[in-house]
Amino acid sequence: MKISELFMAKKVIFSFEVFPPKKGGPIDTIYETLEGLCPLHPDFISVTYGAGGNAADRSTLQIASLIKKRYGIEPLAHLTCVNSTRQQVINTLGELKSEGIENILALRGDINPDIPLRTDFRYASELIQTVRSAGDFHISAACYPEGHAESATLEEDVLHLREKVEAGASHLITQLFFDNTDFYHFRELARRKGIQVPIEAGIMPVVNKRQIERMVSMCGASLPKPLVKLLSRYGSDAAALREAGIAYATQQIIDLLGNAVQGIHLYTMNNPEVAKKVAASVGDIIRCENERHG
């Protein structure tokens, strides 16, 4: 099923992101992750594509296929283009299609100074055009409530986001953010600029101080004062931070649900226990929102 059809059927979508095990690491760890996540019945599960955009990385395809065939859940396969030739992308699309994968999150990928840049694709909008002409895929794209790190202004980034939608993206997932006012401001600007496709909010429960500091330094998201306070108070006590981080994410989600968010995409960091706690706290609220819709 295409993700665009899910958005037509439901008022609020609840989905997860997982990543493949590190190269050379045991593949079995992903089975444990999926065994924990799938019984939570997410609407779809997205699978990241090797950071740096390694076109030879087949694990995304294998995991997406497993999610669909073994667990009967819709997968969303991430695909980056910055280090790929057009032919490599076309081959990957062929493989995805033959595995029955219908949904692709089309990304440029981060520019890695250690990997020589290819010139076939400069921006995600160009990849979206190629995916669109390759066949009958639903196409999702990334968006940034605080603006992408390379953009001079949020407005400039939103204008490029519109190019992705015009090229064929029919669903957007945000970068993680910790202050909902950033999301509301971004969503309002996107709508004013004519972007009407569903925008799903990417939420990451903070359960590890070092991990979150590394993530925000990589993606440019900012940490609001209450979260900084929480990190400095509980950062050295794993159990306390976990509880506080889950509560913070839960509050963020409840506020978003009260403000007409169309989807929550949980960055699970392959941690089903955290996802379970969040799902237990917001599952009935999401159900209630969807029943009102029905």
Strand 263-267 relative to strand 199-203, pairing: parallel
Please tell me whether residue 221 binds ligand FAD under the rule CB under 6 A: no
Instruction: Write out the DSSP string of 35-59.
Output: HHHGGG--SEEEE---TTT-TT--H
Instruction: Give the shortest CB-115-to-ligand FAD separation in angstroms.
Output: 11
Q: What are phi and psi of 203, to 5 degrees?
A: -120, 130
Residue 17 annotated to the active site:
yes
Strand-pairing partners, residue 203, are 266
Instruction: Give the shortest CB-111-to-ligand FAD separation in angstroms.
Output: 7
Helix (H, G, I), strand (E, B) or coil at 83: coil
Nearer to ligand FAD, 53 or 75 (CB): 53
Nearer to ligand FAD, 133 or 232 (CB): 133
Q: Is the dihedral of CA 176, 178, 182, 184 positive or negative?
A: positive
CA dihedral 50, 177, 5, 67 (to 10 degrees): 40
Nearer to ligand FAD, 79 or 230 (CB): 79
State the Cα–Cα distance between residues 17 and 33, nearest whole angstrom.
Answer: 11
CA angle 62, 66, 69 (to 5 degrees): 130
Instruction: Give the shortest CB-101-to-ligand FAD separation in angstroms.
Output: 14
Instruction: Give the shortest CB-219-to-ligand FAD separation in angstroms.
Output: 7
What lies within 8 Å, CB to CB, of 30 at 6+ separation is 18, 20, 21, 63, 66, 270
Please tell me whether residue 180 binds ligand FAD under the rule CB under 6 A: no
Q: Is the dihedral of CA 24, 28, 32, 35 positive or negative?
A: positive
Please tell me whether residue 48 binds ligand FAD under the rule CB under 6 A: yes
Instruction: Give the shortest CB-149-to-ligand FAD separation in angstroms.
Output: 7
Which of 173, 199, 266, 286 touches ligand FAD (CB under 6 A)?
173
CA dihedral 167, 173, 178, 184 (to 10 degrees): 60
Instruction: Give the shortest CB-109-to-ligand FAD separation in angstroms.
Output: 4
Site for ligand FAD in 123-142 (CB under 6 A): 123-125, 142
Taking contact as CB under 6 A, which single stretch among the options 148-156, 209-217, 246-254, 275-283 is the one that binds ligand FAD?
Answer: 148-156
Please tell me whether residue 204 binds ligand FAD under the rule CB under 6 A: no
Contact present, 161 and 123 (Cβ < 8 Å): no
Nearer to ligand FAD, 157 or 179 (CB): 157
Please tell me whether residue 78 binds ligand FAD under the rule CB under 6 A: yes
Strand-pairing partners, residue 46, are 17, 76
Site for ligand FAD in 95-114 (CB under 6 A): 107-110
Active-site residues, by number, are 17
Chain positions contacting ligand FAD, by CB under 6 A: 48-49, 51, 53, 78, 80, 107-110, 123-125, 142, 148, 150-151, 157, 160, 163-164, 173, 175, 202
